[in-house]
Amino acid sequence: MNAFEPADGAEDPAGALGEWVRVASTANARLAGGGGPDAARLQGLQGALRTVQAIDAEGLHWLDWTAANQSADVGLPAEQLVFLEVEAREAGEGAIERREMQVVADLHDVRLDKALQRLAPEFSRNYLQQLLRDGQVWLDGRSVRKPATKVSVGQHLALSLRPTPQSQAFQPEAMRLDIRYEDAHLLVLDKPAGLVVHPAAGNWSGTLLNGLLAYHPVFGRLPRAGIVHRLDKDTSGLMVVAKSMPMVAALVERIASREVSRQYLAVVHGGARTVWPWQAPGQSVRVDAPIGRDPAHRQRMAVVDLERHAGKPAQTDVALLARSGDYALVHCRLHTGRTHQIRVHMRHLGLPLVGDALYGGVGHQALQRQALHAWRLGFVHPHTGQALALQTALPADLQALLTALSLPIEALPA
């Protein structure tokens, strides 16, 4: 099969869940046709990702591999699905597959988009509806674009499967990567603001994932190019990336068990009615408030009541470093890694980030993004046992913001 499209990915905007369900479905089709991968090259990866569960690492949801196999009714070990994903990336681009069938009795008077799922069961309904809108579906030789069209028994249904921007997202693109640490097992890089971490709607190219694929061939053999957590597009700072399958599993497990220290610097602002939670610099408060999808704004996260809405526990320690009028420089330490966690918790305190329009932050001419920087990253190296503690300087735009607001950069912790 040469046209690939991720299935619906639940909460993950990048579709990690759907990605693996899609790959599992493809595996099922390929193996049924006798086109499975060479078992010898899979043996060395046996059990490498058994520990990976459906955890949330700052918005990147990892799939329980066993669940993926069951949901796709494949029953294959995860290692085979990994290689099939790589094969999917390398499939001939531009290939078009045409499928045809006669509508049978049990599909009579069924919506066209549902009938298409019988013809192409390994693809998501959203993708099939996209093909409908693109004029790639025919009933009795006539192009049909409305998903709600009812089909009749005996009609001839045809579908043209074409590669989409999503299917061609895993392409290497050379870009400058600011590597702060690297060995044979992992690397730590300083992501600039404005760089999207992995392909998603509206950003199918020019992402960090594309840059990693160009940086070293090893990343082309790993799911998500070795990315085990993410930063928002407009957040700068340190990220760790795995260079092997066992390292992917080890780092994800450490993030889940809170063995990775992630510290951020942020500039926030209050107002006339703000009740500041600190009396003086150096004081810290813990925000212990669950986070879930905002029921009133589906593009945003929010602190939620778990008895009424879906969500997950979230904890952030926030220390005041310096204050100038309505503005403050704060130090945030994550204990969990929920989507937009710092941004949501600061809004919850009534102190949104400067420049964070999504969560009520005011803009400033010195900054064209949210004032958030992943400043420190620390963990014990899973392979060597070495304690790694990395720190990166504030980007120029955040330094300019501090200067404009009379917030001393000297207030940063040693």
What are the structural domains, with CATH classification, of the chain? Answer: 96-162 (3.10.290.10), 258-414 (3.30.2350.10)
Other CB atoms closer than 10 Å to residue 43's CB: what's the count? 9
- The model's pTM is 0.69
Q: 192: closest CA among 239, 240, 237?
A: 237
Contact criterion met (CB below 8 Å) for 414 and 389: no
Handedness of CA 166, 201, 256, 379 (dihedral sign): positive
Q: Which residue has the higher pLDDT, 310 or 123?
A: 310
Percent of the chain past pLDDT 70, that is, above it, reads 76
| Residue 232 annotated to the active site | yes
User: Which tens digit of pLDDT belongs to each residue from 74-115?
Assistant: 233 333 333 333 333 433 344 678 899 999 999 999 999 999
What is residue 59's DSSP assignment? T
Query: Band of the pLDDT at 170, cuts 50, 70, 90?
Result: confident
Which pLDDT does position 121 carry in this prediction?
87
Which pLDDT band, with edges at 50, 70 and 90, does 364 fall under? very high
Least confident of 10-24, 116-130, 253-267, 384-398: 10-24
Position 333 confidence tier, pLDDT thresholds 50, 70, 90: very high
CA 184 to the chain's CA centroid: 24
Instruction: Tell me 181's DSSP state.
Output: E
**Farthest CA pair distance, the chain:** 77
Taking the CB of residue 230, how many other CB atoms lie within 10 A of it?
22
Containing 380, the helix (H) or strand (E) segment is: strand 372-380
Beta bridge partners, 389, equal 378
pLDDT band at 166 (very low <50, low <70, confident <90, very high): low
Most confident of 12-26, 192-206, 315-329: 315-329
> Tell me, what DSSP letter sits at residue 190?
E
Which of 109-118, 155-164, 252-261 comes out lowest in average pLDDT?
Answer: 155-164
Segment 117-134 mean pLDDT: 86
- C-alpha 107: how far from chain center: 36
> Residues 113, 232, 234, 356: which is the catalytic one?
232
Compute the average pLDDT of residues 290-301.
Answer: 93
pLDDT tier for residue 413 given thresholds of 50, 70 and 90: confident
String of DSSP letters for 206-268: SSHHHHHHHH-GGGGGSGGGGB-S---TT-EEEEEEESSHHHHHHHHHHHHTT-SEEEEEEEE
Structural tokens at position 312? 């997950």
Q: Higher model confidence: residue 56 or residue 205?
A: 205
**What is the distance between the alpha carbons of residues 59 and 2, in angstroms, rounded to a whole number?**
29
User: Taking 50 as the threshold, does the pLDDT of residue 196 lie above it?
Assistant: yes
- The angle subtended at Cα 200 by Cα 172 and Cα 373, nearest 5°, is 85
Query: What residue ranges in 270-348 does DSSP mark as E strands?
Result: 284-288, 291-293, 301-303, 315-324, 327-334
What's the pLDDT score for residue 60? 33
Residue 378: pLDDT above 70?
yes
Structure-model confidence comparison of residues 123 and 241, the more confident one: 241
